[in-house]
Amino acid sequence: MKKILITGSGTGIGKEAAIALSSKGHYVYATTHTLEQAEKLNKISKKNHLPLKSFKLDILSNNDRCLVDDLSIDVLINNAAIGDSGSVCEIDVNRYRQTFETNVFSSIELTQRVLKNMIKRGSGRIVFVSSLVGRITLPFLSPYTATKFAIEAIATSLKEELKELKSADIDVALIEPGAYATGFNQKNISKQFTWMKKSSYFKTNVNSLERKQFRYFKLTEVKNTSSIVQEYIKSVEDLKVKDRYVSPCFQGTYIQFKRILGK
């Protein structure tokens, strides 16, 4: 039994993973962005007699991040993330700042707080949820994909750095979900069209771009999320942690093949 803290578990795959991990007997601190989400999770926990406690932890809030200081955490899963989209040549740079603040900087700050106790104890595991688009990007999605490229670099660096601490055995792993039909991708790509349809270098063909992006995810998304939830479980339970946990496998293979070809 591990004590796990997972961020962004109020919706989507994070919520499913939190419930699945507690169903396996792990004690899960399932943190959420809002109090309402936490209350709903606690009701599910109580109804199903799960070892799960949910509470609001907005990773952008330093006061909320302080809540982890007194917790005994074996595994931290940095799952919380937001998305945004738009063309690099004209998007408001503040949109990049907002996604990096949530997906990268706040995750680093939370990780540092959790690591204090892990290093003192001499053991633990840090898991970063990246994405397959953290290895190969998609046009008009760089405000989101750039943050996942950054997470890949940060997790890899941290893994090598912690090896230098001879008194502590702390693992670091990445989870790389592919395209799943949770609604996140549609919400993400929709953001650009609120302003690109009004003023954009691409205004004349913005409707075509919109159809193209929505069609891409309609063709690639996997409806059943059980395969990626299993990777969350493996990232916690594997005695010898892997560098990356990838699903769906066929999407991971395709991405790796494209990288080998230099595309």
Give domain status of residue 216, yes or no: no
Give domain status of residue 120, yes or no: yes
Domain of residue 143 covers: 3-180+223-260
Give domain status of residue 212, yes or no: no
Give domain status of residue 201, yes or no: no
Residue 222 per-residue DSSP state: B
**Confidence label for 55 from pLDDT (cuts 50, 70 and 90):** very high
d(CA 229, CA 222): 13
**Terminal-residue alpha carbon distance, the chain:** 42
β-sheet with 75-78: strand ranges across: 52-56, 27-32, 3-6, 75-78, 123-129, 169-177, 244-247
Q: Count of domains in the chain?
A: 1
Give domain status of residue 187, yes or no: no
- Is the bond preceding residue 51 a cis peptide, omega within 30 degrees? no
Q: What is the CATH number of the domain that holds 12?
A: 3.40.50.720
**Confidence label for 262 from pLDDT (cuts 50, 70 and 90):** confident
Q: What is the predicted pLDDT for the residue at 255?
A: 86
Give domain status of residue 97, yes or no: yes
Give domain status of residue 194, yes or no: no
Give domain status of residue 193, yes or no: no
More confident residue, 122 or 256: 122
Which percentage of the chain shows pLDDT scores above 90?
Answer: 94
Question: To the nearest 5 percent, what fractions of the chain are helix, strand and coil?
Answer: 55, 15, 30
pLDDT, tens digit (0-9, with 9 covering 90-100), for 125-137: 999 999 999 998 8
Q: Tell me which of 109-123, 183-197, 224-238, 246-260 is least confident.
A: 246-260
Q: What is the predicted pLDDT for the residue at 198?
A: 94
